[in-house]
Structure 1
Amino acid sequence: MPYKPLNLSTPVPILSWANHELGHQEIKMAKNTASLPFVFKHVALMPDVHLGKGALVGSVIATKEAIIPAAVGVDIGCGMAAIKTAYTADQLEGKLKKIRLDIEAAIPVGFNQNKDTDKTVDNWQGWQQFKDLHPGVQHLESKAMKQMGSLGGGNHFIEVCLDTENSVWLMLHSGSRNIGNMLAQCHISTAKELTRLANTQLPDSDLAYFVQGTPEFAAYWRDLQWAQNYARFNREAMMARFKRIIEKHLAGGKQAKPLLEVNCHHNYAEQEVHFGEEVYVTRKGAVRAREQDYGIIPGSMGAKSFIIKGKGNAHSYCSCSHGAGRLMSRNKAKENFSLDDLLEQTQGVECRKDTGILDEIPGAYKPIEQVMANQSDLVEVVATLKQVVCVKG
């Protein structure tokens, strides 16, 4: 589906790939973002767009000489990782529950962390820069090290999937854990304080920003890149453990080289060139989809997911959606669905079947097929996956 410009009076246009009408609050949030003086060219809304904090989740914002910390969000570098294995569906038969239990034993979820750090984590070069991070997180180094290689909570997950040719894929969704959250909160507070001291009028205090060339901008950008690297390596550390578990059950512990590996952020900012100009691109719930870029667009825990390749659509700032997008809030999902609904909607998936994950029920998300149809001009599908094991955060 090609984009449609929203019929709104804003300093820069808002281009939308969503086929649904935005609600009042969503329109207000989009207008607020598009009204900022440093926003470049236009704001792009992905097919899975929905309410966020400050800026919409599923929005791509290009800015000149400024950046908005809350638009990146608190889970800096949150994203996806997937590998295609040489294993096939028949090798999984009778092993799904054991695999799930082994994943849950090897990879901490929720607020849990590792008891000890392994050699790979200890050797991550990012620890050398920890002393340069914001003073507000200096006491968190030990915790950050122990959380490296852990999943977190909310909509984070680990899945064993099958594609349409019955090949086994490993997929997971996670970010920068507590350290990314704390770094973001420190810088968001600083941005809000600068706004207050300068008496700058903003349509929403969560759109407080840093100006390029200031010490505050430089400090945020340094910490942002560090947290994005942490998030990427966190996924690598989990995937290595996950892969070993699968090798134990399907190949007697023998290592096998992945046929394809993908690791992509969907909550982050980078310096890029668009329409011939260097800008800061913030993807808040969006994946980079330059021509030939591989990416991952997951559905809910009972729906299909997609490995994609970007088409490099300039109007989306070479971006695509990061998932199905929520249809209802977590509280609303708990009010509207029962355990019986969860059992029905996750039929055929080896996963937890309790009320503790009702807020992640497939019915709380938009239909992923519609989301994919809306971005046929942004991506091509490389593989269609369906989970057989799902471990939730």
Structure 2
Amino acid sequence: MEKEKITNSEISDLGVEDLDTIVLFSRVANGLLKHKVMDKQQILAELEALIAGPEPYALKRGGKFKNLAQKVLELRQQGQLIKPQRPINELKKEIADFPVYGIEHIEAGALNQMRTAIQLPIAVAGALMPDAHQGYGLPIGGVLATTANTIIPYAVGVDIACRMCLSIFELPAHTVDDKTDDLKSILLKNTHFGMGSESKWHDDDSLFEKPDWKATKQIRTLRDKAYKQLGTSGTGNHFVEWGELTVQGGALEGVPAGNYLALLSHSGSRGFGAGIASYYSDLAMKKTKLPPEAKHLAWLDLDSNEGQEYWIAMNLAGDYASANHHEIHNKIAKAMQLQPLLRIENHHNFAWQEKLANGTPVMVHRKGATPAGNGVLGIIPGSMSTPGFVVRGKGNAQSINSASHGAGRLMSRNAAFKTIKRDLVTAELLEKKITLVGADLDEAPMVYKNIHAVMEAQHDLVDVLAKFQPRIVRMADAKERPED
């Protein structure tokens, strides 16, 4: 079998014309390839980035490309400029209108990020949900429809396919008071939190029989980590909690009106999703050049190898995130010796191929936004002491069939540590009869917007079917670095 190689013509295609420089680039590139420091696709992207700007590049890369960067600088000083083949994609001059739900609840930074996103040359439509706050590239709570063959890794997010999952049990809500210690014990025995947390055993690992786990080098590299972390919940705002669910008459099929014990979880695709997001976000920013204010919104074309690889990996991360929640819920259900009456789930931080109301095919990125197509069920949580809601989408075309994914942060984590008083949090939890395991001040109820105001701002987007009140909440230990 012939060994993979980076050819002189491939280096020349990057914009290198000087023969000695081509030979130098080839020697370094193929050395990295031979010793498996990087794969071919990444090396070519790295070389292209070097050509675009060698000074900061060489400093950031710890010397791997130092000689190449120096050569590029020498050629430029001699007037032999190496021009990158990929020009900067200019933003649209006009800022298209987009709906903003609950604008009085949204910070200026999030609005500005959405305005930048809607100026992308590939942008078709956008919307901002009432829980929106500033993030990287697309704001959290931002919905962006782009041309159908483009996808933006940073508009999907770092925690790909982060999702909600709710299991409703045929037990009265007061079980959470009658059996507090037992329910807390079951939670502790069957959940795992933390950056490197792993499961000791799996209830169902059949997902790993899918051939997609062999589809790309990046997926293969992360497979073992994904397997070990199946059934774990990460850090930051991720949680697994028992609570009281109040269901309206006829709202949920198979669940009569009443008050039930329910289990709610929030987490995503763990280290697998984070690894995929990091690799392809970096690659997109090297392949698609944008002005500085929009650099994190770099996209991949689905008709390219990189775009297809990311699409496969993103969808696999969606399946994995769902299986991750099922693992947690199934273990707890078995410990309860009960099967849930109903399980509801939805994910955010994802991209879907959809059509706008006028029939235009688009790629819809929902970064911290819940799918809310007509009749689609979803879950919108509040905070550790405030209610969450089971909702049914109304299929609002203006919002691009979307709703908020939660209450949304009112302040940053740093601000929370500086301003929130621990005794006030303790008093709040005591008043609401909340048993808390883990978490710190950066996840205190006070750091989140008023969930009732957020829900009122999106009454045109969803109908409320049931209310979930948290009672026994488990999150990562305070020492853990947030990864949400």
CA positional deviation for 1:207: 0.9
Per-residue CA distance 1:172-212 (angstroms, 9 max, x = gap): 0010000100001100111111125xxx5463211111123
CA positional deviation for 1:125: 4.4
Tell me the number of residue pairs that the alignment of Structure 1 and Structure 2 aligns. 369
Q: In structure 2, what is the Cα distance between the partners aligned to 1:21 and 1:80?
A: 23
Please tell me whether residue 102 in structure 1 is matched to residue 186 in structure 2: yes
Equivalent residue, structure 2, for 1:12: 96
Equivalent residue, structure 2, for 1:3: none
1:143 corresponds to which of 208, 220, 225:
225
Q: Which amino acid aligns with 1:214?
A: S
Q: Secondary structure at the match of 2:440?
A: helix
CA positional deviation for 1:159: 1.2
2:447 corresponds to which of 334, 354, 364:
364
Moved more, 167-176 or 105-114: 105-114
- 2:394·2:462 contact (CA, 8 Å) conserved in 1? yes
- 1:345·1:361 contact (CA, 8 Å) conserved in 2? no
By relative contact order (CA 8 Å, sep 6+), the higher-ranking structure is 1
* 1:174-193 correspondence to structure 2 within 5 Å: 174-193=267-286
Q: Secondary structure at the match of 2:240?
A: strand
Equivalent residue, structure 2, for 1:230: 320
Equivalent residue, structure 1, for 2:416: 333
Q: Secondary structure at the match of 2:288?
A: helix
CA positional deviation for 1:320: 0.5
2:139 corresponds to which of 53, 56, 59:
56
1:351 corresponds to which of 436, 445, 457:
436
Moved more, 343-352 or 307-316: 343-352
Please tell me whether residue 324 in structure 1 is matched to residue 407 in structure 2: yes
Q: Secondary structure at the match of 1:234?
A: helix
Equivalent residue, structure 2, for 1:79: 163
- 2:353·2:361 contact (CA, 8 Å) conserved in 1? yes
Moved more, 221-230 or 99-108: 99-108
Q: 1:382–1:187: structure 2 CA closer, same or farther, 3 Å change rule?
A: same
Q: In structure 2, what is the Cα distance between the partners aligned to 1:132 and 1:364?
A: 41
Equivalent residue, structure 2, for 1:219: 309
Q: Which runs of 5+ in 2 are unaligned?
A: 1-92, 247-257, 477-484
Equivalent residue, structure 2, for 1:282: 365
- 1:126·1:230 contact (CA, 8 Å) conserved in 2? no
Equivalent residue, structure 2, for 1:5: none
- 1:202·1:208 contact (CA, 8 Å) conserved in 2? no
Per-residue CA distance 1:212-247 (angstroms, 9 max, x = gap): 3222211111111111111111111111112223x2
Q: Secondary structure at the match of 1:101?
A: helix
Q: 1:194–1:260: structure 2 CA closer, same or farther, 3 Å change rule?
A: same
Q: Secondary structure at the match of 1:346?
A: helix
Q: Secondary structure at the match of 2:115?
A: helix
1:159 corresponds to which of 241, 250, 256:
241
* 1:20-59 correspondence to structure 2 within 5 Å: 20=104, 22-40=106-124, 42-59=125-142
- 2:203·2:331 contact (CA, 8 Å) conserved in 1? no
Q: In structure 1, what is the Cα distance between the partners aligned to 2:267 and 2:301?
A: 29
CA positional deviation for 1:388: 1.3
Q: In structure 2, what is the Cα distance between the partners aligned to 1:142 and 1:290?
A: 35
Q: Which amino acid aligns with 1:80?
A: M
- 2:162·2:321 contact (CA, 8 Å) conserved in 1? yes
Q: 1:119–1:83: structure 2 CA closer, same or farther, 3 Å change rule?
A: closer
Equivalent residue, structure 1, for 2:377: 294
Q: Secondary structure at the match of 1:77?
A: coil
CA positional deviation for 1:90: 3.2
Q: In structure 2, what is the Cα distance between the partners aligned to 1:216 and 1:209?
A: 10
Q: Secondary structure at the match of 2:389?
A: strand
CA positional deviation for 1:115: 4.8
CA positional deviation for 1:137: 5.0
Percent of aligned pairs with the same amino acid: 33
Q: Which has the larger radius of gyration?
A: 2
Q: In structure 2, what is the Cα distance between the partners aligned to 1:367 and 1:22?
A: 12
Q: Which amino acid aligns with 1:152?
A: G
1:263 corresponds to which of 309, 331, 345:
345
Q: In structure 2, what is the Cα distance between the partners aligned to 1:336 and 1:202?
A: 32
Q: In structure 1, what is the Cα distance between the partners aligned to 2:315 and 2:398?
A: 25
CA positional deviation for 1:141: 2.1
Q: Which amino acid aligns with 2:241?
A: E
Per-residue CA distance 1:49-90 (angstroms, 9 max, x = gap): 110110110011111031111010110000100022111023
CA positional deviation for 1:20: 1.2
- 2:174·2:261 contact (CA, 8 Å) conserved in 1? no
Q: In structure 2, what is the Cα distance between the partners aligned to 1:76 and 1:139?
A: 17
- 1:117·1:145 contact (CA, 8 Å) conserved in 2? no
Q: Secondary structure at the match of 1:230?
A: helix
Q: Secondary structure at the match of 1:150?
A: coil
Q: Which amino acid aligns with 2:171?
A: Y
CA positional deviation for 1:118: 2.0
Q: In structure 2, what is the Cα distance between the partners aligned to 1:242 and 1:10?
A: 52
Q: 1:126–1:337: structure 2 CA closer, same or farther, 3 Å change rule?
A: farther
Q: Which amino acid aligns with 1:174?
A: S
Per-residue CA distance 1:347-391 (angstroms, 9 max, x = gap): 201113x7x511100000000000000011100000011111111
Q: In structure 1, what is the Cα distance between the partners aligned to 2:153 and 2:294?
A: 13
Q: In structure 2, what is the Cα distance between the partners aligned to 1:233 and 1:145?
A: 11
